[in-house]
């Protein structure tokens, strides 16, 4: 039987969800107009006043907010409540430019933790569970968000944060952890380390994992499920909107339910900004309708995704988003062909490799080059040159049929590619240097 954390919200009729969204959007627009000069100026530029927004149907009139806006307004420019009402910040790592700092009131944190609690209950969590949170704690939202959600569900929370993998495994075993929260790449690393320690999946008490914060393929899910002997659930979110828990997977594992009572989702064509219908791939745009300290209207996430309003077998009624393919800024354009790292991952896992690979892009004589370094698994490790050449050839062919591109493939020894305890960095693009 499917269980919910907030059944009346999670299974509400679509008309009810729309009514909540309309009422909250109108209130939010008024809130930012009154309190954030940056938003007021953007709305005025479009000739809008709060009276023009009467419900969700008017959402499209509003201007978009981009990461560039966040950078321009850094750090306090988009804060919509007096600082005395803010109790926390969280921040992105800032690898692609200036950090984004997001602000929270007490109530914002409360609602965010509700969203994470929904994800944990959807993964089967109850107050009988021991939930190990191996996302990083600190400025990153992963640790604090899942920690708060786990408290709300009443799980015994083990706040290991990321790193020190053998200690993670010791805690899982000694405390009988049943739920593991971390990035999928870290879950794969934990599984690999357990295997090296001679542990089989049935010797590990885990039953579920809540993995997100980076793009991961369906093939990687299957791999992690097998090696840890668990059911692996996806969870999505971003600092700008709160953190993990913007959307989460249910038992159906067919896309993530977006918490629509807090976030309105749209898909747009990233080139033309036109709103696209269900089923069409484009850029995810979110409007946060309950956050008071740091509200975002029509925020362009750059995540490439598809939405579906089809009925879900779990009974939840909130719209689902497919696994994001990656970000528009992760998408590589190689010799004119669009390539997402997740497509390369799919080819490799289908051929029996693990998710330890590196994509190196360069440019020689004005032509892009693509090299994929792939780790052999310990079982396939060999120094037989003929065998290595045959393996490399089969990967080259797999990549060619997936991408329509010829790549150079190099097989490397097991454990020679550095492991990730957080978000994996898999692409080295030397063209930008």
CB 168 within 8 A of CB 136: no
Radius of gyration, CA atoms only, the chain: 22
- Choose the stretch contacting ligand DLL; rule: CB under 6 A; options: 7-15, 272-280, 319-327, 362-370: 319-327
Picking from 363, 134, 405, the residue whose alpha carbon sits closest to that of residue 244 is: 134
Minimal CA–CA distance to 184: which of 423, 350, 428, 353? 423
* Number of residues located near ligand DLL, criterion CB under 6 A: 21
Of 10, 69, 113, 214, the one binding ligand DLL by CB under 6 A: 214
Minimum CB distance to ligand DLL smaller for 36 or for 285 = 285
C-alpha of 406 from chain center: 29
- Contact between 144 and ligand DLL per CB under 6 A: no
Kindly tell me which of 271 and 329 has the beta carbon lying closer to ligand DLL: 329
Q: Which of 59, 180, 235, 374 binds ligand DLL (CB under 6 A)?
A: 235
**252: helix, strand or coil:** coil
* CA dist., res. 239 & res. 428, Å (int): 24
Verify binding: residue 239, ligand DLL, rule CB under 6 A.
yes
Cα 234-328-304 angle, rounded to 5 deg = 40
The nearest distance, CB 147 to ligand DLL, in angstroms, is: 11
Binders of ligand DLL among residues 287 to 306 (CB under 6 A) are 301, 303
CA gap 164, 183 in Å, rounded:
15
* Of positions 125, 255, 324, 354, contacts ligand DLL by CB under 6 A: 324
Q: Are 273 and 64 in contact (CB under 8 A)?
A: yes
Give every strand in the sheet of 299-305, ordered side by side. 263-268, 282-288, 299-305, 326-327
Q: What mask of x and - would describe binding to ligand DLL in positions 39 to 58, judged by CB under 6 A?
A: --------------------
CA angle (46 as vertex; 44, 49 as ends), nearest 5: 50
Binding mask 74-103 for ligand DLL (x = CB under 6 A): ------------------x-----------
Single residue of 103, 233, 236, 263 touching ligand DLL by CB under 6 A: 236
Min dist CB 235 to ligand DLL, Å, is 5
165 belongs to the binding site for ligand DLL (CB under 6 A): no
Map residues 243-262 to x or -, x wherever contact with ligand DLL holds by CB under 6 A: xx------------------
- Is position 285 an interface residue for ligand DLL (rule: CB under 6 A)? no
Smallest separation, CB 206 to ligand DLL (Å): 17
Contacts within 8 Å (CB) and 24+ apart, 202-207: 202/229, 203/173, 204/172, 204/173, 204/228, 204/229, 205/172, 205/173, 205/176, 205/177, 205/178, 206/172, 206/177, 206/178, 206/179, 206/180, 206/230, 207/124, 207/178, 207/179, 207/231
213 binds ligand DLL (CB under 6 A): yes
For strand 243-249 and strand 231-238, is the pairing parallel, antiparallel, or unpaired? Answer: antiparallel
What's the min distance (Å) between Cβ of 301 and ligand DLL? 5
Q: Tell me the closest approach of the beta carbon of residue 244 to ligand DLL, in angstroms.
A: 4
**Binding site residues, ligand DLL, CB under 6 A:** 92, 135, 141-142, 212-215, 234-239, 243-244, 301, 303, 323-324, 327
């Amino acid at each position: 039987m499917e269980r919910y954390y907030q059944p009346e919200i999670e299974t509400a009729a679509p008309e009810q969800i729309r009514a909540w969204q309309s009422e909250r959007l109108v209130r939010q627009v008024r809130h930012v107009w009154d309190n954030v000069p940056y938003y007021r100026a953007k709305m005025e530029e479009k000739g809008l006043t709060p009276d023009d927004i009467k419900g969700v149907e008017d959402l499209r009139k509003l201007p978009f907010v981009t990461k560039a806006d966040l950078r321009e307004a850094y750090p306090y420019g988009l804060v919509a409540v007096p600082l005395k009402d803010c109790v926390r910040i969280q921040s992105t790592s800032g690898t692609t430019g200036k950090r984004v700092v997001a602000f929270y009131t007490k109530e914002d944190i409360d609602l965010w933790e509700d969203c994470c609690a929904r994800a944990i209950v959807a993964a089967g969590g109850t107050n009988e569970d021991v939930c190990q949170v191996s996302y990083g704690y600190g400025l990153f939202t992963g640790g604090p968000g899942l920690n708060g959600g786990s408290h709300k569900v009443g799980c015994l929370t083990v706040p290991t944060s990321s790193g020190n993998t053998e200690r993670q495994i010791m805690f899982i075993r000694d405390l009988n952890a049943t739920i593991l929260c971390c990035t999928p790449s870290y879950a794969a690393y934990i599984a690999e380390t357990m295997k090296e320690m001679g542990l089989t999946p049935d010797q590990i008490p885990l039953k579920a994992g809540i993995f997100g914060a980076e793009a991961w393929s369906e093939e990687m899910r299957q791999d992690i499920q097998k090696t840890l002997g668990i059911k692996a659930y996806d969870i999505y979110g971003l600092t700008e909107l709160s953190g993990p828990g913007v959307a989460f997977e249910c038992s159906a594992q067919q896309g993530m339910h977006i918490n629509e009572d807090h976030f309105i989702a749209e898909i747009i064509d990233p080139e033309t900004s036109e709103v696209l219908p269900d089923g069409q791939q484009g850029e995810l745009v979110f409007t946060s309708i309950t956050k008071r300290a740091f509200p975002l209207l029509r925020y362009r996430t750059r995540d490439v995704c598809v939405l579906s309003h089809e009925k879900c077998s779990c009974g939840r009624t909130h719209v689902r988003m497919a696994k994001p393919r990656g970000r528009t800024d992760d998408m590589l354009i190689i010799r004119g062909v669009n390539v997402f790292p997740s497509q390369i991952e799919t080819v490799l896992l289908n051929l029996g490799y693990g998710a330890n690979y590196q994509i190196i892009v360069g440019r020689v004589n004005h032509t892009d080059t693509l090299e994929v370094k792939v780790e052999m698994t310990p079982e396939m490790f060999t120094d037989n040159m003929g065998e290595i050449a045959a393996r490399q050839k089969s990967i080259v062919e797999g990549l060619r049929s997936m991408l329509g591109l010829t790549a150079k493939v190099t097989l490397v020894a097991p454990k020679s590619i550095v492991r990730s305890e957080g978000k994996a960095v898999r692409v080295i693009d030397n063209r930008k240097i």
